[in-house]
Amino acid sequence: MIPDISALHSEYRKSKLSEGELHENPIYQFEKWLTDAIDAKVKEPTAMTLATVNENNQPSARIVLLKFVNEKGLAFFTNYQSRKGNELNKNPKAALVFFWTELERQVRVEGKVSKLSRKISNEYFNLRPKESRISAIISPQSQPIPNRQFLENRVAEYLKNNNEIITPENWGGYILTPRTFEFWQGRENRLHDRFLYKKIGKRWKISRLAP
Amino acid sequence: MIPDISALHSEYRKSKLSEGELHENPIYQFEKWLTDAIDAKVKEPTAMTLATVNENNQPSARIVLLKFVNEKGLAFFTNYQSRKGNELNKNPKAALVFFWTELERQVRVEGKVSKLSRKISNEYFNLRPKESRISAIISPQSQPIPNRQFLENRVAEYLKNNNEIITPENWGGYILTPRTFEFWQGRENRLHDRFLYKKIGKRWKISRLAP
């Protein structure tokens, strides 16, 4: 029997968020909060939940790591034939959520993904430690496998054959181009501060949402 | 300028997950991991990302708190007219993700939600602190509001009028009935352990997935 969880929650008292302090561009606002999370030594500050949808309108979601952010959007890398890869190839609409509990902050993003260039994917692939590059090469991501030994054998075989360690064809990056951004700062008594940025043409419209 | 985040990641070395230790019912397996998270003093152990989909096949996702789990599924409460409420009323398919960084563990769940009874929603509502019940009553969740004062005025007005604090009509619970469950234990060199439970008739079929 698990403990009674119904009353488990924290009161959020650390901070607040007001109209005046918001940057007019949500990418800069995001970079500020991400930097705060890194400075506060949040564990896995770049971890985000990525939500995708399959052809039966069933959403799925999993953690991925943000690998860069710039004026075009937020980037991550994966196996293009993984479940998320397959779903994004058919429906590029996706959502992201960051939750930095230590700062009582949440960021939500929605938009469409597109594939990053082979050049950018190669550059990032080559930054990764050798062992994790080999894992990416030998792992048929999201497919059923008989046991752990299967993976370990494939790694050993790959090393024994002295194969080149180059980016697999089916591996690379996506960038999510945001259409909406929401910044959520937890407040006491569930009266949280929420601000929604919505892209209208080339401009961002900001509104406060009821918590 | 934010720091270079491309190389930010942890090596996961804390634990492993093998076929032999899995409970045949994923609800029990989940309860075990949730208890571990509570025992390890994870911050907000019941926080989960809920992904829903709108009529344009655009997913959205946000944090909600798990309020109970039983053999029927996983329950949470919300305003039925919030964005998630509106999306779930049209398409009950949803996904959940827990990420307990301190334990290097992730749980993913997919299924359909249904509304909990008024009786259960009332019971939970009445467990909440008075201030947070009032906030739930006065907040037009997910709607644009002019400023923070708007909320604070509504709280003050509610208190002044000595209104009854009863569950709003448009507020209550959902329970997600799982069709799939995935348990993910981070491992070194990205060779993570992943096990998928899939409901086939009344039984759960377990398979190991490639990371």
Q: Which of A49, A143, A181 to mutate to test the interface with B (most CBs of B within 10 A)?
A: A49
Count how many domains chain A has. 1
Instruction: Select the residue of B45, B131, B144 nearest A189 (Cβ to Cβ).
Output: B131
Burial, B150: exposed, middle or buried (Cβ in 10 Å; 0-12, 13-18, 19+)? middle
Residue of B7, B44, B184, B64 whose CA lies nearest to A38: B7
Q: Are B165 and B176 in contact (CB under 8 A)?
A: no
Instruction: Select the residue of A7, A35, A51 nearest B2 (Cβ to Cβ).
Output: A35
What pLDDT is attached to residue B58? Answer: 98
Which residues, other chains included, contact B91 with Cβ-Cβ below 8 Å and sequence gap of 6+?
Answer: A57, B52, B53, B54, B55
What pLDDT is attached to residue A125? Answer: 97
Q: For chain B, say whether A161 makes contact (Cβ under 8 Å).
A: no
Distance from CA of B31 to the nearest CA of A (A): 6
In a domain, A57, yes or no: yes
In a domain, A4, yes or no: no
Give kind and range of the element (H or E) at residue A150. helix A148-160
Q: pTM here? A: 0.97
pLDDT digits (tens, 9 = 90+) for A140-193: 999 999 999 999 999 999 999 988 899 999 999 999 999 999 999 999 999 999
| Overall average pLDDT of the B181-206 stretch | 97
pLDDT digits (tens, 9 = 90+) for B65-114: 999 999 999 999 999 999 999 999 999 999 999 999 999 999 999 999 99
What pLDDT is attached to residue B1? Answer: 58
pLDDT digits (tens, 9 = 90+) for A103-124: 999 999 999 999 999 999 999 9
Chains A & B: contacts with CB separation below 8 Å = 234
Query: Quick check: A1 pLDDT over 70?
Result: no
Domain that holds residue A121: 19-129+169-208
In a domain, B145, yes or no: no
Q: Are B88 and B69 in contact (CB under 8 A)?
A: no
CB proximity under 8 Å: B 32-51 to A: 34-35, 38, 43-47, 49, 51
Residue of A124, A115, A116 whose CA lies nearest to A88: A115
| Residue in chain B nearest A4 by alpha carbon | B68
pLDDT digits (tens, 9 = 90+) for B1-10: 577 898 888 8
Q: Which residues of A touch B38 (CB under 8 A)?
A: 2-3, 5, 8
Catalytic machinery residues of A: 190
Instruction: Select the residue of A8, A10, A108 nearest B62 (Cβ to Cβ).
Output: A108
In a domain, A153, yes or no: no
Pairwise CA distance, residues B196 & B194, whole Å:
7
Answer whether B2 sits within 8 Å of A139, measured CB to CB.
Answer: no
In a domain, A51, yes or no: yes
Q: For chain B, say whether A8 makes contact (Cβ under 8 Å).
A: yes
Answer whether B57 sits within 8 Å of A93, measured CB to CB.
Answer: yes
Q: Answer positive or negative: Cα dihedral of A63, A64, A69, A71.
A: negative
Answer whether B3 sits within 8 Å of A93, measured CB to CB.
Answer: no
Q: Residue B90's domain is classified under what CATH number?
A: 2.30.110.10
Measured CA distances, A169 to A64, A74, A113, A122, B160 (Å):
20, 22, 19, 10, 66
Answer whether A143 sits within 8 Å of B210, measured CB to CB.
Answer: yes
In a domain, A174, yes or no: yes
Answer whether B51 sits within 8 Å of A60, measured CB to CB.
Answer: yes
Pairwise CA distance, residues B92 & B114, whole Å:
7
ipTM above 0.90, yes or no: yes
In a domain, B11, yes or no: no
CB proximity under 8 Å: B 13-32 to A: 18-19, 31
In a domain, B124, yes or no: yes
Distance from CA of A36 to the nearest CA of B (A): 10
Q: For chain B, say whether A144 makes contact (Cβ under 8 Å).
A: yes
pLDDT digits (tens, 9 = 90+) for A37-57: 999 999 999 999 999 999 999
Q: Which of A35, A56, A63 to mutate to test the interface with B (most CBs of B within 10 A)?
A: A63
Taking each helix axis as running N to C, give the angle between helix A130-138 and helix A118-127, from 0 to 180 degrees, rounded to the nearest 10: 130
